[in-house]
Structure 1
Amino acid sequence: MTSSPPRRRVDPDRRRRIIDATIAVIEAEGVAGTTHRRIAAVADVPLGSLTYHFTGLDELIRLAFEQVAEASSDGVLARLEQATTREEAITATVDVIAGNLWSTPQTLLLSYELYAYAARHPEIAAIMRGWMARSRAALERHFDPLTARAIDALIEGIGIHDSVDTDPLTPEQVEAVIRRVAG
């Protein structure tokens, strides 16, 4: 009796699971602590799967940050795109900031890692520029480009500050700041 070749496990979501695991490892260990072995363990895949599906750790980190940037901006953009007037855009921006649509604990932590990593890796900085361009384009539907840029910075900046501030801004204070910037 001849033995048949081993059956290959069908796992169509493996690539996505590995990227998700990379995000989890970056969140838990930081980029500096992200290794192939840790990613494989979290993804529950053989170590060889990483080199089969990806060219290396740099690609995994880039894809993870692309996914984080896209997911982070999607919620913000969805809320901003509901606005049809400038007044609704101000309200939407307040909702984004005060409602923590962008600044969840996970997003903040991953954003810190992304900013630090991008400072040393220009190809990753391009991901951030794409994220900012998407936000600014949504804001520019209601504000001039300079104001949109300032409001975009406030969305991230206030979220970052409020994450560690013992007295975070109230929605009313956020609205007052946005109205001052918007003129």
Structure 2
Amino acid sequence: MSAPDSPRTRTQRPRRHDPDRRERIVAACLDVIAEHGVAGTSHRRVAAAADVPLGSMTYHFDGMDELLREAFGSFARGAAAQFERRMAGARTPGEAVQAVTTLITHDVFATQRDLVLSHELYTLAARDPAYRTLTNDWMRRSRDALGRHFDPATCRVLDAFVEGMTIHRALDTEPHDDVDVLDAVRRLAQVP
């Protein structure tokens, strides 16, 4: 009978060098939320999706709330940056109207994943002021991007229209005509 290995004689596996682990966990969290909703998101599911040991979850995040805030913060910042890029490309009022139209018809909620993640974030923000900070920052960035081309009152109306129209288009079972959106944006922006 051989003696059990002492800690000194056991072969130790080299530590895995994984500098992007935290970011991978955040991205995996968004994937899990998109598939299972916030209610179905757990440390175990996120760890499996990120291909990390379960212990990595508590090493990198104090708890599920911190992970959710990080994940939704990343999602909101990405969506705001896309909005800013689209609006930055416009040089004239007509191009700004077209940019808003394209945001509605092609950019916002371009995928089912984006739709689900947005609505999961909205639901959290409706219940918890900590998440409202994320949505308010997202709205502020959107309005600032619109503000390059429109007055503040028009920016608020257009931002609300972008949100509302994209939700309707994403959830409606009837086909949509992009020309209708363009006409509505022109009316709201008062640009012929």
TM over 0.5: yes
Match of 2:3 in 1: none
1:1-183 pair list within 5 angstroms: 3=9, 6-98=13-105, 100-104=106-110, 105-183=112-190
Over 6 Å off, 4+ runs: none
* Structure 1 unaligned blocks of 5 or more: none
CA drift of 1:37 comes to 0.8
| Larger helix fraction of residues | 1
CA contact (8 A) 2:83 2:145 kept: no
What number of residue pairs does the alignment pair up?
Answer: 181
TM-score (norm 1): 0.94
SS of the aligned residue for 1:9 comes to: coil
How far apart in 1 are the matches of 2:49 and 2:173? Answer: 34
How far apart in 1 are the matches of 2:137 and 2:97? Answer: 23
CA contact (8 A) 1:151 1:181 kept: yes
CA drift of 1:166 comes to 2.4
CA drift of 1:168 comes to 4.1
Deviations 1:62-95 (A, max 9, x none): 0100111111122221111111222211011111
CA contact (8 A) 2:101 2:185 kept: yes
CA drift of 1:173 comes to 0.5
Larger radius of gyration: 2
CA drift of 1:169 comes to 3.4
TM-score (norm 2): 0.89
Give, as a single letter, the amino acid of the residue that structure 1 aligns with 2:75: V
Aligned-residue sequence identity (percent) comes to 47
